[in-house]
Structure 1
Amino acid sequence: MKQNITEKRIAGFLIIVFILALIPVLYIGKYNYPCADDFGFSAYSHIAWEETHSILQVVIGALTTVKERWFGWQGTFSSIFVMALQPAVFGEAGYRLVPWIMIGAMSFSTLFLLYIIVRRVMGVRTSVYLGISMIYLIFALECMVDKTQGFFWFNGAAHYIIPHSVALILTGLVIWLIKNEKHKFYKMVLACIAAFFVGGGNYISALVTAILFVSASIVAIYTRKKEYVKLILLPFIFFFIAFLTNICAPGNAVRQGEVGYRPGVVKSIMLSFYYCVEYITETWFDWTYIIFILILIPFLWELVKTIGNKFNYRFPILVPIGSFCLLSAMFTPSLYAMGEAGGGRIFNIIFLDYLLLIILNIFYILGWMYRHCGLGKSKESCIESRNIKLYLLALLCLTIFIGGLYSRVDPNYFTSTSAVKSLISGEAADYGEETRKRTNRLQNNDQQSIQLEILKTKPYLLYYSDIGVDADDWKNNSMERYYRIKEIWGIY
């Protein structure tokens, strides 16, 4: 017990850092309000709540939205159902819960997946599991590619962050099914529900899930684990049914008609590899990733030592290549559908999987070194050694120093510093007041048309989009449906 006291202290420290980083991010949510597609996708649900205050009628409204969009715009029915239930449906104040929902989904799914792999399967100490998990979550929170679309704009996050989170839970459930004999029926039911949801969500999470299902089946067949194939098969069937329903929606053809240029399948795949290299080398690899890797190494080394020689690490080249191919595949759906690599909300989930793949590859490389180079045979925790303590302390000081410099020059570089800046400067409160007054006018309007001032304050985290000066602007039309007003104009 004495041997691992430093591990526990570091894990506890990382938990405290994560909680402290969350405080301003969650607090600024009190000034968050719906915008753009939030209105269009939840109009039926909102009207149902206003007229009946019945949860059942709200759900029926959401299902009506799913049907309308499935035939008229896109096939991602499970995402659309969630979009139609955005929190402001039950009152605009509910929208402040959006960062709680999105960060909660990201955190819970990550903690669950890593718990199944690190604690249940590998049997590693809780302090090591918490250390790895908190490092990931702190980095994911602070360095999210598009922080607004990741944590504060419900519609965009519901379409990407939530299906991504459910996909992680699905992965954990399938691994748990394979490795644990208890309560298999309940795990199987949950896995089938999760698989169906992911199949009906965004195409990026669905494609990755399909690849993982097929890969797991091939490995199970190759290793002659027929019982594993049986456990994978039922969730895969539910996933396949949902995915087929998704891609065969008539609305997809309608939406594709709006796109001017689309590369073919082969060109989309080739471009996916190109963009994956470009984003990793030119966009997503800076000093923060170096810190991320360096601080992970002691914890992943303890993970490797705990497993010992139980695992062979026979494919030190195949794992990085497979990881690169999987990450590249995440660029393919948007390239094929729109001819571009994607927007901020798409990059968000690619970024999150990129972090997980970094963890996997560092673990595998360290495992190969342990197995084949005869390193780390001591049973004592390396984190307890004086040199590692100094190493981690130096990393902490370096992170604070460089992070402080970056935050000083660009407060929006990190999510927490951006929130603190907006709160201290008062722009968050000003934005909240502007949107509150606008909302009151919309709710109390009894005319067929209304003029609304274009928002003047645009906090980095809270502002995503606004109405236009033209009443025919699609964002104006979405708001008109939501508040049942014939025409809305924006004025300066």
Structure 2
Amino acid sequence: MFSYKLPNFIKKINTKNLCVVLTFLYVLSIIPMLVIGIYNWPSVDDFSMALQPHQTFVQTGNFFATVWSAFTKTIYIYNNWVGYFFSSFLTCLSPSIFGERWSALNAVIVIGMLTYGVMYFFDALFRRVWKMEGHMSYGLSMLTLLMVVQSMENGTTRAEAFYWWSGAINYTFMFGLSLAWIGMIFRFIYETDRFSTRRRVLRFVWICVLGFLLGGSNYMTALVMAVCSVLGLFILLMIKLGKFELKGNGNVKGLWVPFVCQLIGLVVSAVAPGNKIRGTAIGNISPIKVVLRSYYSILDVCVNDMMRWEVLLTLVIVAVIAWKMAEGMEYELHHPVVFAFFSFSMMACCVAPPLYAVSNVDAPRIRSTMWMQFLVLLVLTVVYYACWIRQNLQKTVAEEKDRFSLNSSTLLAVIVLFITFGSLLSIFVNPHYYSTTSAMVDLVKGNAKQYLTEKENRMEVFEDDSVKDVVFKPHTVRPELLFQSDMYEDATLWENTIVATYYNKNSVRVSK
């Protein structure tokens, strides 16, 4: 064999600099997604759920009367259709009720809450609970958000997750809010010295109120939060009995109240008369079969259908960062098998409600929620195992506190180069591969602008009182992130009739 030597361009990567780069990449990636939101437009359920509030605003121009109308519509939905009252109320308050162009706010609100929820939760868990280094925990939240937002499957899934108000506010927004709620509980336990008694009481009240409201969110999120609440009550009981020990300077006094509030919210949602009415129209499957299919669906949908090559490589970066973070971790991890089973079970728990209700998980908004929770829990599992393995291996070489080792830095550099090269190939074959490139393509080609122009042309007809039976041509463009659904040729279908009612027309249809 022969030996050779090449120049070594790899330097030890600074942890703070890595965090800055990841933050820059995430912010850069969502800018096109927010820009294309300017061309967004309401569709389908946005007209039915927000019909009465919209009519109230048109008639009165009064914001508070409009909010009250959304509240009364929520009561109607609770009694006649579905029980998740908090989700329904926010769905009825679509920005489009004040004018269709206000739909530009949809992506800002939804992506903003998702970003805040992930960042707040990771900071609370890794920094406050596990006492890990702050910059790297922040970097992990950026990596997770990049995977969640950019690597979500192509097609309507992205449109319903971020732009279609009725789907995005009900699922993506609630998922981000639920992460923030758990983060608030963690910080309430461990930030006992940072707040005055008055501020701590106010935070406690807010946690209780938010817990109750999340009990009235979509059943995927509400059920997962209910499992967390039951687990929290069990842990509190074990602490009281002296079986568990709360490490660190934490305080769990009265913490059972927000958990109970969340469970009460779910009960209020579950006993809604509307659930019984809606339940007669669908075929439920047995609870045992639901549990088994929930576990299988994680493997079938999240792993087989939605997992992508860049996500796998990014998870390696997560492991490298977690390996470094384990240096300063104050607590030892002892239960990798239990944690893995818990993580997998929580993924499956998210899937159970739609399986029980409609026997499938085909709806794009459901798939997007599965994807988000799957990735967050997968990142937590990778972090747990990387830290656990390092804690159980003898450390032989002292490492610099604020830098990765040369081997770790090399691995990070190789993976980044591979992801960059692979991304360029993937975008070349499919320009819509990432969410941000999909937005950029439709912006550059003018598809988003053309889509909005066609929507505005339709609005001119809707605003013409002399036209009562409306016939439109199909859209000539369908931007992936914005197009959720259109009307049909059959004017009697509910998607068409609700639009006709919304704009005070006799009939509305699309003719090919």
Q: Where on the TM-score scale, by shorter chain, does this alignment land: which range?
A: over 0.9
1:221–1:486 Cα change, 3 Å: same
Within 5 Å, give how 1:202-281 maps onto structure 2.
Answer: 202-223=218-239, 224=242, 230-259=253-282, 261-281=283-303
Could you say which residue in structure 2 is the equivalent of 1:466? Answer: 486
**Residues 371-404 of structure 1: CA deviation (Å, up to 9, x unaligned):** 2222376352474433333222211110111111
C-alpha distance in structure 1 between counterparts of 2:407 and 2:441, whole Å: 37
Could you say which residue in structure 1 is the equivalent of 2:8? Answer: none
Could you say which residue in structure 1 is the equivalent of 2:326? Answer: 304
Query: What amino acid is the match of 1:198?
Result: L
1:172–1:4 Cα change, 3 Å: farther
Query: What amino acid is the match of 1:34?
Result: P
Could you say which residue in structure 2 is the equivalent of 1:283? Answer: 305
Could you say which residue in structure 1 is the equivalent of 2:450? Answer: 430
Query: What amino acid is the match of 1:240?
Result: L
Structure 1 position 409, deviation (Å): 1.3
Q: SS of 2:332's equivalent?
A: coil
More moved, 222-231 vs 129-138: 222-231
C-alpha distance in structure 2 between counterparts of 1:288 and 1:419, whole Å: 19
C-alpha distance in structure 2 between counterparts of 1:34 and 1:281, whole Å: 32
Query: What amino acid is the match of 2:172?
Result: I
Structure 1 position 416, deviation (Å): 0.8
1:397–1:445 Cα change, 3 Å: farther
C-alpha distance in structure 1 between counterparts of 2:28 and 2:76, whole Å: 43
Query: What amino acid is the match of 1:215?
Result: L
Structure 1 position 255, deviation (Å): 1.8
Q: 1:195, 1:236 within 8 Å by CA — same for their partners in 2?
A: yes
C-alpha distance in structure 1 between counterparts of 2:232 and 2:418, whole Å: 40
Match for residue 180 of structure 1 among 191, 212, 227: 191
Query: What amino acid is the match of 2:328?
Result: T
Could you say which residue in structure 1 is the equivalent of 2:205? Answer: 189
Q: 2:295, 2:348 within 8 Å by CA — same for their partners in 1?
A: yes
1:438–1:280 Cα change, 3 Å: closer
Q: 1:298, 1:383 within 8 Å by CA — same for their partners in 2?
A: no
**Residues 169-201 of structure 1: CA deviation (Å, up to 9, x unaligned):** 110111112112233212212211211221111
**Residues 47-77 of structure 1: CA deviation (Å, up to 9, x unaligned):** 1111112111111110121012111111111
Structure 1 position 86, deviation (Å): 0.9
C-alpha distance in structure 1 between counterparts of 2:144 and 2:422, whole Å: 19
More moved, 313-322 vs 121-130: 121-130
Could you say which residue in structure 1 is the equivalent of 2:410? Answer: 390
Aligned CA RMSD, in angstroms, stands at 2.1
C-alpha distance in structure 1 between counterparts of 2:165 and 2:446, whole Å: 23
**1:101 and 2:109 matched:** yes
Query: What amino acid is the match of 2:170?
Result: H
**1:380 and 2:396 matched:** no
Q: 1:370, 1:376 within 8 Å by CA — same for their partners in 2?
A: no
Structure 1 position 322, deviation (Å): 1.2
Could you say which residue in structure 1 is the equivalent of 2:343? Answer: 323
C-alpha distance in structure 1 between counterparts of 2:311 and 2:327, whole Å: 24
Could you say which residue in structure 2 is the equivalent of 1:170? Answer: 181
Q: 1:116, 1:175 within 8 Å by CA — same for their partners in 2?
A: yes
Q: SS of 1:74's equivalent?
A: coil
Q: 1:42, 1:83 within 8 Å by CA — same for their partners in 2?
A: yes
Query: What amino acid is the match of 2:351?
Result: F
C-alpha distance in structure 2 between counterparts of 1:256 and 1:455, whole Å: 35
C-alpha distance in structure 1 between counterparts of 2:27 and 2:302, whole Å: 29
Structure 1 position 317, deviation (Å): 0.9
Could you say which residue in structure 2 is the equivalent of 1:115? Answer: 123
Q: 2:489, 2:511 within 8 Å by CA — same for their partners in 1?
A: yes
Could you say which residue in structure 1 is the equivalent of 2:172? Answer: 161
C-alpha distance in structure 1 between counterparts of 2:481 and 2:173, whole Å: 19
Match for residue 136 of structure 1 among 132, 139, 144: 144
Q: 1:305, 1:377 within 8 Å by CA — same for their partners in 2?
A: no
Within 5 Å, give how 1:431-450 maps onto structure 2.
Answer: 431-450=451-470
C-alpha distance in structure 2 between counterparts of 1:268 and 1:229, whole Å: 35
Match for residue 476 of structure 1 among 492, 496, 507: 496
Q: SS of 1:412's equivalent?
A: coil
Structure 1 position 429, deviation (Å): 1.5
Listed as ranges, the gaps of 5+ residues in structure 1 are none
C-alpha distance in structure 1 between counterparts of 2:170 and 2:395, whole Å: 45
Could you say which residue in structure 1 is the equivalent of 2:507? Answer: 487
Query: What amino acid is the match of 1:217?
Result: L
C-alpha distance in structure 2 between counterparts of 1:220 and 1:285, whole Å: 37
1:263–1:37 Cα change, 3 Å: same
Q: 1:217, 1:229 within 8 Å by CA — same for their partners in 2?
A: no
Q: SS of 2:510's equivalent?
A: strand
Could you say which residue in structure 2 is the equivalent of 1:451? Answer: 471
C-alpha distance in structure 2 between counterparts of 1:6 and 1:373, whole Å: 24
Identity fraction in percent: 25
Match for residue 340 of structure 1 among 360, 367, 380: 360
Q: Which is helix-richer, 1 or 2?
A: 1
Q: SS of 1:88's equivalent?
A: helix
Q: SS of 1:480's equivalent?
A: helix
Aligned residue-pair number: 487
**1:414 and 2:434 matched:** yes
> Hey, which bits of structure 1, 4+ residues long, moved more than 4 A?
225-230
